[in-house]
């Protein structure tokens, strides 16, 4: 009996050792690696923005007439220059971004449409009429504007640095009032004109995705809307040297700068 038990115990131990040895030789299944996901900017987006706008120097030469009953400058004043003061800009943005899976390069196209206003005015006297002759000129860029700009950027995960450039369009309005209160030349001219101007738009900014679908941006944009707009008016001063003649001033309108903060919602 003892011999049978001893043999049985030896066989059981041998079988258990063999199973342990086989299990030890089996390869251990590797645990799956957890890879950190990187934010991707691909997708269409819409947003809104608000900020400030300002312009360079506008210039307004004295009105002149080139046809009878009067030929020449009205008061022969010196060239008037003044800066366009700061104004408000705000509107809507829409665009699309493309970003490769393993690339930090972000390509896109963006359009914006909104309100823009930068204006200025100044009054000055003519040569030879220090107290009696005066011209007041006003220039306004805006009320509405739009841009269409491709853009290219470099992304550090949720932070995007970009530049963009393309087309800009806006409406410009100019006007002047030229008067002479003296008995020798009691004239009065009111001239005005407006023009839709196309130009270039160039700028750049920073954008940060603070949520899966939301981002905030800060951007500077130069609007090359500088142009010459000619305003004309009829001399209505009875008894003046140029009564009944049309006088025109080729008024120079400067480019406009904008700086704004905006929020975008991305569809993914």
What's the CATH code of the domain at 93?
2.40.160.20
Low-confidence ranges of the chain (pLDDT < 50): 1-2, 4-10, 12-24, 26, 28, 33-36, 130-132
What pLDDT does residue 177 have? 86
Residue/partner pairs of 75-79 with CB below 8 Å, 24 or more apart: 75/126, 75/127, 75/128, 75/129, 75/133, 75/135, 75/178, 75/180, 76/126, 76/127, 76/128, 77/124, 77/125, 77/126, 77/127, 77/133, 77/135, 78/124, 78/127
The predicted-structure confidence for 212-227, as pLDDT tens digits, reads as follows 999 999 999 999 999 9
Considering its fold, how many domains does the chain have in total? 1
pTM for this structure? 0.79
- Contact (CB, 8 A) for 56 and 86: no
What pLDDT does residue 157 have? 95
Identify the domain containing residue 73 by its residue range: 2-267
What pLDDT does residue 236 have? 84
What pLDDT does residue 9 have? 37
What pLDDT does residue 127 have? 57
What pLDDT does residue 51 have? 97
């Amino acid at each position: 009996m003892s011999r049978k038990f001893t043999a049985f115990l030896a066989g059981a131990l041998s079988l258990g050792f063999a199973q342990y040895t086989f299990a030890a030789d089996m390869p251990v299944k590797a645990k799956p690696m957890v890879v950190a996901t990187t934010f991707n900017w691909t997708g269409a987006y819409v947003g809104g923005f608000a900020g400030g706008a300002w312009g360079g120097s506008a210039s307004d030469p004295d009105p002149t007439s080139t046809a009878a009953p009067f030929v020449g400058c009205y008061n022969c004043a010196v060239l008037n220059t003044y800066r366009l003061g700061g104004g408000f800009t705000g509107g809507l943005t829409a665009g699309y971004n493309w970003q490769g899976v393993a690339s930090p390069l972000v390509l896109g196209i963006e359009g914006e449409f909104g309100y823009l206003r930068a204006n200025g005015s100044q009054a000055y006297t003519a040569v030879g009429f220090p107290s009696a002759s005066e011209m007041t000129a006003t220039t306004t860029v805006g009320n509405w504007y739009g841009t269409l700009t491709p853009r290219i950027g470099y992304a550090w995960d949720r932070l995007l640095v970009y530049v963009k450039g393309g087309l800009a369009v806006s409406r410009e309005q100019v006007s002047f009032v030229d008067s002479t209160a003296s008995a020798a030349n009691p004239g009065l001219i009111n001239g005005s004109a407006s023009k839709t101007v196309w130009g270039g738009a160039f700028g750049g900014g920073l954008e940060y995705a603070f949520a899966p679908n939301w981002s905030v941006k800060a951007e500077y944009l130069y609007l090359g809307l500088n142009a010459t707009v000619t305003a004309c008016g009829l001399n209505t001063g009875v008894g003046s040297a140029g009564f009944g003649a049309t006088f025109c001033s080729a008024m120079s309108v400067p480019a406009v700068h904008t700086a704004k903060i905006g929020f975008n919602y991305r569809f993914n």
